[in-house]
Structure 1
Amino acid sequence: MGTGPYPSAEELNAPLICDDEEAQAYEMRDMLPAQDTTSNLTETGDDIRELRYSDNRPIWEKIWCGPINPEDEPPKFHLRWKTLKYLDGLPKRLFNSNLGNKALVRYGILIIYVSIWFSIVSSILFPYLLRAPVFSQNGSGEDITIMPLTCTQSLKSWKGENNACGTNAEFCTTTDNDFFVRCPALCDRAWIYSAQTVGNQRVKYREFNIGGGPTKDNAILSHPYRGDSAICSSAYHSGLISGLSGGCVRVSSQGPQAKFLSVNGKSGLSVGFDSFFPLSFAFTEMQDGIASGCYDPRSLVMALNIVFSLPIFFLYEAVIGYWTVTLAGFWTLLLIFDPPMLTDPTDLTTVAELISVGFERLLPLSFILYVIWKASVKRTLDNGSPLVKATLWFPMFWLGVMNNVTFDRLPVDRLTLKDLKELAGALLAVGSIISTILICAVIQTYSIWKSGRFAKYFKVLITVIMGVIALTLIPGLNLRIHHYILGMTLVMFCSTRGASAYLFQGILIGLVISGVGTWGFASIVETDLSLLRGEAGAAFMPPIFDFNESQPLTISWHPRNETAIPSELDGYSLLINDVERYVGPSSQIDLDLLLDGNLAFARLVLDSQQKSENNSIPLYIRVAHANTKNPIDKRGDYTNAAILQFPEGLWQDPSPGVS
């Protein structure tokens, strides 16, 4: 045995014990007092490097146990420049000053600073959440309440797709009065992620704007949009609101329209529909009054919270900075930047519910953040470089928190073959993401190996992989790795002190907060039904159309398997142009008789024929099994749309699949 404080040369050349990390010199940093860490570790490391001058171990042992002299040092690249070196030492000088070394003064300043921060942000945020936006009419003094909507919501009078509005859309009545809508920010990318049918088109991964487009015809600011279009997304398409701050618009009912052209607008081409629909709307000027409370402050609130949290993260101890930015990021995201639900200032219970949801998610999230701190972040940030953590860890954290405007903008939804095929550019984006992850994994693996802990983390990785494989084997469930799960799993492998750990930890913890704040603790395994997200495919299969050329205006169909039809599905629901026009037990419908018995439907057809070039219009026809007494709640899936050219009787079979 060596007689001094360090082992002898013979002991140093002995085989390494990989799992005994306390025997490694680099681990002394965690055991020594903070003020002596740098000097003691430097002396120890220098002595060991003098003694260990060769490595004759087998290659497998070198890989498994790491280098003879493990290293895990904080970044030092910034120390080359005097200005950066001065900034890096600024927090230590402040805390060692006569004023800063007193805890009462130091934390008193922190409390005052946070109070000022909270006051400024709340003066912007709470009026938006709690004070209803209004349109004040000139002269009359009457205030009209403005209705808040999300970017993807349709008219509140429109109940939903397929037969949700009932036969002849009887449950989706609308008035001729104009109404006002407040749209949030970020409607420049208001994609829908569950497929909806428009005629014979399957609309997904794009804005749900049908027809419309900007115009300037007296007080009318847009062409008519189909009545089930997303209002705020359509307002952005017509250039009437800002993607950064939203805005208010006036919506006017335009009644039935013969067709809806695909028009290029601010967000690209809208969806075209070349037949009639019973409801439409357009945007008109907000005349004879002033709207207030219209603009969404989420970008301003986010910017202020980033700016205010930076000094705390830079100047104060790592643990204070960590909890400050994580809690600020969570509440910023949940309350304003990407809230999990729509709040209505005219109904303050919705605001209370949002805050309740926040606390419901915060408690388990705080435990996760504590574990992440102890297992990974503490090693990196404690006694690290204040300048490096402020320039690497901090911006990457907020980049992850703002996932809805950063990574969510990539053309990637879910890593399923079906979704990748449907989304243009998804395969290229996924390939780029996987390449980036692999490069990051190689960099971090080298950092772990260099610190002498490769064996430990390799065992952890194998355990994680085995757990994932076990989850995929559960019958009836599908593996669904949400980004919060990915973040809190991978961050454990970033427990090093190099620059890569600062970068990777920040972005991964940001993704954890983004996922939990917006979506909650979604399950890692989900059923087939939940993965459909409301799309067709889970209900009873639809009938098959039978077209008879001798009777081209008689629509008929037959069940796929009559003996398998559930007893509650005692009839059929027939959609024409995405509106239910027939419910009953018959398996064939004569169009002429249907028009004779439905004057409103007949007027729509006649008006559309008169406005067409050759008196001919396409009818998009879909059918499903349904309960004749309650077809809205009890029905199967619809067919895709068959096309009947009316009145010629030219027929086109539907494409395979359901809608």
Structure 2
Amino acid sequence: MNNSKSDTDQKSFDATYTENEFSSSIPLSELTSAGVTIVDGEDHREEWEMLKEGNSIKRFFHRVWNGPIEPKDEPPSFPMRWPWLKAIEEFPSKSFGKEFPSNTRDYIFLTLFCSIWLTILYSILHPYLFIGPYFYQNTGEQKIPIVHLACNSYMRNWRGKNNACGLNGANCSPFEDKEFFIRCPALCDQGGTLYSTTVVGGDRIKYQGYRIGGGKSDNKDDSGTLSYPYRADSFPCNAGVHAGVISPFVGGCAKVKMSGSQLSFPSRNGQHGTGFSISFDSFFPSSYTFADFKHGVATGCYDPRFLIAGINILFGGISFYFSKGLVGYWIVTIISHWTIILSMDPPLLIDPHDNTTAYELISIGFQRLLPLCFVLYVVWKFAVKRTLEDGSPVAKIILWYPTFWVGALNNITFDRLPIDRLYWKSIKEQAGAYTALTGLGCLILVSTIIQVYSLWKSGRFRKYFRIYIAMIGGVVFLALIPGLSLRLHHYIIGLLLLPGCATRGSSAYLFQGVLIGLVISGISRWDFASIEETDTQLLRNEAGASLIPPTFIFENSTSHMLSWNTTYEEYESEFAVAIDGYSLLLNDIEVYVGTNTTVDLDTIFAGEEISQMLQDSMDFHNGTTDLFLRIARASTKIPQEYHGDYSNPAKLKWPEGIWHDPKPGVS
């Protein structure tokens, strides 16, 4: 019996000695790097003793805070589930070894691949950016340059809104008997949308394509006219898509003919899903129609942006599939930046007849690239590396890569949602914004829950909870700064959410891709826009930041006389010193500049052109017509440069003299 006890004690001693000898012979750092968790034994026992004595709620929160007993952060398992998918998963390593590129042969192959890729891009982009389009006449006469416009550009002869065209629109002539040849980019079905309020007659227009009247013409005659007249201040590229003359996918060239004054611009349904145009039921001194290219041919018309994007997605996908994580990451992020800058959503309108504008665009691309690369490196270091380094090729190409381009091509994905920006005033003004924002919010919430669970499984919930509490505190602090408004641009949202995607599971592949795409899209297109903006910046050239307009005074007893009075502000800037008079608009065209506070409308209408339009309009509308009037303080010398905000439009039924006061506010 004593011998048995002695043997047991000896075995216990030997086991203890062996364990102690083993543990003392291995450095602590090697245990840690090998994945062994070192726990303070006494503290650990005390913690569990306290938990045993505690209630179930306490145990639950302890489990939530500290994570599972055995943390796991494993890569996606689905690529090994089916033989055919497993073959795709293992193909890169079987073809080029475990890592590509890893030797001289691999680097030569990658360089050759990228050279072919860039050569194809150059052959497509160079003619569009550097070789001007022309209209060649069949008669052999001198070729006519085609003017390149943006989707939200006016005609080259039209200066802008309100009084930009000067008294009676003189600065925007000719109003008729003039032809223009224009080239429009792709995506002008939405690219001509107004994002700041513009008055058309008696209506305030926002979040709608700026095309007034027009529509595809059903007349089949020898004149070659393809559309009904559009008001001359309509965006011609947006109007061209509405009329079916310009493609929303590849853009195109169009012939525009100035067609003089019109008495009405009825709303008509457009082509390519553009909806109805804006209605204006009164006269306007200038209009244009679209005509076909008779007696000649136009060259260099089509926008290659979708072709460029398709080529880059294809070649980028191949390189991303075969390359190791870091190399593939830099290839696709850099190429997406230049895809946005040069073709998909350029931050600058280039003129192919003036090559300096194309070089300026390339300069902007490099200007934004260096700080973007720093951001991308930090993102890689703290989030993406954990996912893509030694990541699954199938998961990269099925989950990460497609969502990356969804975010990077934001102007054809998320920009199509009726959410202009995350600013309460914009959300309130835009139809469908609440519904879209609710749906997007629910999607983000579900994605957040999934990713929080992934972080918890990996045992790092506590760490990231503290990080995001600090982030939320910082955002709240910024929101409370007086005089500034918080603007969460989509690149900022991407940067805020990316740290929480530092896991290895399928959800991280999905969410990282779209967030990095949004970061690149925002910075490449809009640069590092500030997270804090002033009220003036938020207006985006909309009225509301200048001098308060005068107030109309109308007496029924003198229905052909119009007066106004001015309310002077307590503090007026130096800008106000140059303003010594008033500017009066009739049907969105300036008809009076002077110092008088009362004008005789009969005198204003006495001019030959305006009197003829007024008489024709009354004949057209059965003896009466609606006139829309707006007033602003302005310089009598340079009213186009120095003027305050205009009032909202007042409506006067002429010649009866029935007056409708303008709504409160400015325009």
> Aligned partners of 2:210 and 2:389: how far apart in 1?
49
Q: How far does residue 416 in structure 1 lie from its aligned partner after superposition?
A: 2.4
| Residue equivalent to 2:212 | 210
Aligned counterpart for 1:395 among listed residues 369, 389, 402: 402
Q: How far does residue 447 in structure 1 lie from its aligned partner after superposition?
A: 0.6
Q: Note closer, same or farther for the CA distance 1:562–1:504 as it changes in structure 2 (3 Å cut).
A: closer
| Residue equivalent to 2:265 | 260
| Residue equivalent to 1:380 | 387
Aligned counterpart for 1:244 among listed residues 246, 249, 253: 249
Q: How far does residue 466 in structure 1 lie from its aligned partner after superposition?
A: 1.2
- Secondary structure of residue in 2 paired with 1:220: coil
The one-letter code sitting in structure 1 at the alignment partner of 2:367 is E
The one-letter code sitting in structure 2 at the alignment partner of 1:492 is P
| Residue equivalent to 2:200 | 198
Q: TM-score, normalised by structure 1?
A: 0.91
Q: How far does residue 102 in structure 1 lie from its aligned partner after superposition?
A: 6.4
May I ask how many residue pairs the two structures share in their alignment?
Answer: 624
| Residue equivalent to 2:536 | 529
| Residue equivalent to 1:278 | 285
- Residue 80 (str. 1) matches residue 81 (str. 2): yes
Q: How far does residue 375 in structure 1 lie from its aligned partner after superposition?
A: 0.5
- Secondary structure of residue in 1 paired with 2:68: coil
| Residue equivalent to 2:181 | 180
- Residue 462 (str. 1) matches residue 472 (str. 2): no
Percent identity (aligned): 48
| Residue equivalent to 2:642 | 634
Q: Note closer, same or farther for the CA distance 1:123–1:567 as it changes in structure 2 (3 Å cut).
A: closer
Write the mapping of 1:125-136 to structure 2, written as runs, cut at 5 A: 125-136=125-136
Aligned counterpart for 1:224 among listed residues 201, 214, 229: 229
- Residue 164 (str. 1) matches residue 164 (str. 2): yes
Gaps of 5+ in 2: 1-15, 39-44, 53-57
| Residue equivalent to 1:649 | 657
| Regions of 4+ moved over 4 Å | 1-8, 22-25, 54-57, 99-102, 561-567
Q: What does the per-residue CA deviation read over 1:44-82, in whole Å, with 9 as the maximum and x for residues that have no partner? A: 99xxxxxx9x99682222111111100000010221100
Q: TM-score, normalised by structure 2?
A: 0.90
Q: Note closer, same or farther for the CA distance 1:657–1:24 as it changes in structure 2 (3 Å cut).
A: farther
Q: What does the per-residue CA deviation read over 1:142-196, in whole Å, with 9 as the maximum and x for residues that have no partner? A: 3111111111111111111101111111211226231111111111213121111
| 8 Å contact from structure 2 (residues 165, 172) kept in 1 | yes
| 8 Å contact from structure 2 (residues 101, 323) kept in 1 | no
- Secondary structure of residue in 2 paired with 1:393: helix
Q: Note closer, same or farther for the CA distance 1:512–1:23 as it changes in structure 2 (3 Å cut).
A: farther
> Aligned partners of 1:630 and 1:536: how far apart in 2?
19
Q: Note closer, same or farther for the CA distance 1:4–1:170 as it changes in structure 2 (3 Å cut).
A: farther
- Secondary structure of residue in 2 paired with 1:222: coil
- Secondary structure of residue in 2 paired with 1:643: strand
> Aligned partners of 1:295 and 1:102: how far apart in 2?
41
> Aligned partners of 2:66 and 2:455: how far apart in 1?
11
Write the mapping of 1:15-414 to structure 2, written as runs, cut at 5 A: 58-96=59-97, 103-174=103-174, 176-190=177-191, 191-217=193-219, 218=221, 219-266=224-271, 267-414=274-421
| 8 Å contact from structure 1 (residues 575, 582) kept in 2 | yes
| Residue equivalent to 2:41 | none
- What CA RMSD, in Å, does the superposition of the two structures yield over aligned residues? 2.4
Q: Note closer, same or farther for the CA distance 1:2–1:604 as it changes in structure 2 (3 Å cut).
A: farther
Gaps of 5+ in 1: 9-21, 33-40, 46-51
| Residue equivalent to 1:591 | 601
Write the mapping of 1:611-622 to structure 2, written as runs, cut at 5 A: 611-612=620-621, 614-622=622-630
| 8 Å contact from structure 2 (residues 282, 625) kept in 1 | yes
Q: How far does residue 2 in structure 1 lie from its aligned partner after superposition?
A: 10
Q: How far does residue 141 in structure 1 lie from its aligned partner after superposition?
A: 4.7
Q: Note closer, same or farther for the CA distance 1:552–1:4 as it changes in structure 2 (3 Å cut).
A: farther
The one-letter code sitting in structure 1 at the alignment partner of 2:145 is T
- Secondary structure of residue in 1 paired with 2:189: helix
> Aligned partners of 1:357 and 1:7: how far apart in 2?
62
Q: Note closer, same or farther for the CA distance 1:415–1:96 as it changes in structure 2 (3 Å cut).
A: closer
Q: How far does residue 545 in structure 1 lie from its aligned partner after superposition?
A: 1.3
> Aligned partners of 1:358 and 1:172: how far apart in 2?
34
- Secondary structure of residue in 1 paired with 2:183: strand
| 8 Å contact from structure 1 (residues 490, 508) kept in 2 | yes
Aligned counterpart for 2:609 among listed residues 600, 609, 613: 600
> Aligned partners of 1:101 and 1:474: how far apart in 2?
50
| 8 Å contact from structure 1 (residues 94, 100) kept in 2 | no
> Aligned partners of 1:231 and 1:101: how far apart in 2?
50
Q: Note closer, same or farther for the CA distance 1:548–1:205 as it changes in structure 2 (3 Å cut).
A: same
The one-letter code sitting in structure 2 at the alignment partner of 1:353 is E
> Aligned partners of 2:581 and 2:284: how far apart in 1?
25
| 8 Å contact from structure 1 (residues 24, 70) kept in 2 | no
Structure number with greater Rg is 2
Q: How far does residue 139 in structure 1 lie from its aligned partner after superposition?
A: 2.8
| 8 Å contact from structure 2 (residues 100, 322) kept in 1 | no
> Aligned partners of 2:22 and 2:233: how far apart in 1?
78
Q: How far does residue 384 in structure 1 lie from its aligned partner after superposition?
A: 1.6
Q: How far does residue 562 in structure 1 lie from its aligned partner after superposition?
A: 7.7
Q: What does the per-residue CA deviation read over 1:259-290, in whole Å, with 9 as the maximum and x for residues that have no partner? A: 10011111110000001111100001100111
Q: How far does residue 513 in structure 1 lie from its aligned partner after superposition?
A: 0.7
Aligned counterpart for 2:509 among listed residues 499, 502, 507: 502
Q: What does the per-residue CA deviation read over 1:342-371, in whole Å, with 9 as the maximum and x for residues that have no partner? A: 111100010000000000000000000000
Q: How far does residue 569 in structure 1 lie from its aligned partner after superposition?
A: 2.8
The one-letter code sitting in structure 1 at the alignment partner of 2:599 is I
Q: Note closer, same or farther for the CA distance 1:307–1:527 as it changes in structure 2 (3 Å cut).
A: same
| Residue equivalent to 1:609 | 618
Q: How far does residue 656 in structure 1 lie from its aligned partner after superposition?
A: 1.3
Aligned counterpart for 2:633 among listed residues 621, 625, 628: 625
Q: Note closer, same or farther for the CA distance 1:102–1:650 as it changes in structure 2 (3 Å cut).
A: closer
The one-letter code sitting in structure 2 at the alignment partner of 1:249 is A
The more displaced of 496-505 and 100-109 is: 100-109
> Aligned partners of 1:158 and 1:467: how far apart in 2?
46
Q: Note closer, same or farther for the CA distance 1:101–1:522 as it changes in structure 2 (3 Å cut).
A: closer
> Aligned partners of 1:440 and 1:60: how far apart in 2?
22
> Aligned partners of 2:79 and 2:93: how far apart in 1?
16
- Secondary structure of residue in 1 paired with 2:610: helix
Aligned counterpart for 2:431 among listed residues 417, 420, 424: 424
> Aligned partners of 2:240 and 2:29: how far apart in 1?
65
Q: What does the per-residue CA deviation read over 1:441-491, in whole Å, with 9 as the maximum and x for residues that have no partner? A: 111111111111111111110111111112122221111111011112211
Q: What does the per-residue CA deviation read over 1:26-50, in whole Å, with 9 as the maximum and x for residues that have no partner? A: xx7xx57xxxxxxxx7x999xxxxx
The more displaced of 601-610 and 540-549 is: 601-610
Q: How far does residue 388 in structure 1 lie from its aligned partner after superposition?
A: 0.5
> Aligned partners of 1:380 and 1:102: how far apart in 2?
20
